[in-house]
Amino acid sequence: MAERYSSFAPGGTTWLLQRITAAFLIVVLAFHFFQLHFVTHAAEVDFAGTQARMENVGYFLTMVLFLIAAAFHGVNGVYNALINQGLEGTQKKVVLAVLVVASVALVAQGTWVALVMAGWI
């Protein structure tokens, strides 16, 4: 029988964070979908409404945490998928560095936009 291989070490920190962010993303994505499709219909979403929602500290923090969790979950998943495909050595280090820089840039830009939308900058 073929042996199962995964770059995620069960019980490791990244393994645990991948599962925690998955659960968080499911809950927050459901909230986000409900908020922007049932409470506020998609056709009614506008700049002023987005600003009003982002001025609420709870909503603001939820969306920033949503961004951080999604960035980590996605990048960690892609990185581990590449490791599972045989990425190693210098290529592994370069890919990790590129993914980390891209993640930090994404989270920084998204947080900046959230702060501007909330009227705090």
pLDDT tens digits for range 85-114: 999 999 999 999 999 999 999 999 999 999
Does residue 62 surpass a pLDDT of 90? yes
CB burial of residue 1 (10 Å; 0-12, 13-18, 19+): exposed
Report yes or no on 50 lying in a domain: yes
Q: Evaluate whether residue 7 is within a structural domain.
A: no
Range of the domain at 62: 13-118
Q: Does residue 6 lie in a domain region? A: no
3 in any annotated domain = no
pLDDT at 5 over 90: no
pLDDT value of position 12: 86
Number of domains within the chain: 1
Name which of 111, 13, 16, 11 is nearest 71 in CA terms: 111
CA distance 97 to 113: 24
Q: State yes or no: pLDDT of 4 exceeds 70.
A: no
The pTM for the full model equals 0.88
Q: Evaluate whether residue 71 is within a structural domain.
A: yes
